[in-house]
């Protein structure tokens, strides 16, 4: 069950990040409206997102130049 307000905030995030050209100001505004806190752990390849509407943080796997394949094992089946 998602409130209309949450749906609008998440739609704004999606719109900002799927635009042909990303407007940094709009993307930041959308994120501030939907996200309480983000913690980036580049060496581990993890972005932890604490959404305003969720009790538990969401972990998102990503790869950066600081990610160490030798130190991290990512399971393809779970996305973590």
Whole-number pLDDT of residue 63: 77
Closest among 39, 29, 37 to 8, alpha carbons compared: 29
Q: For residues 59 and 48, is the Cβ–Cβ distance under 8 A?
A: yes
- Give me the tens of pLDDT residue by residue for the chain, a chain 80 residues long: 568 999 999 999 999 999 999 999 999 999 999 999 999 988 888 999 999 999 999 999 887 777 666 666 555 444 44
CA 60 to chain centre: 6
Whole-number pLDDT of residue 43: 81
Q: How far is residue 60's CA from residue 41's CA, in Å, rounded to a whole number?
A: 10
What would the pLDDT profile of 38-58 be if each residue is shown by its tens digit? Answer: 999 888 889 999 999 999 999
> pTM score, two decimals?
0.69
Whole-number pLDDT of residue 78: 43
């Amino acid at each position: 069950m998602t409130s209309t307000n949450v749906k609008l905030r998440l739609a704004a995030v999606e719109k900002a990040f799927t635009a042909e050209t990303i407007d940094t100001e709009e993307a930041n505004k959308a994120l501030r409206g939907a996200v309480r806190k983000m913690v980036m752990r580049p060496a581990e390849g993890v972005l932890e997102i604490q959404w305003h509407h969720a009790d538990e943080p969401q972990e998102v796997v990503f790869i950066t130049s600081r990610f160490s394949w030798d130190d991290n094992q990512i399971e393809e089946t779970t996305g973590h």
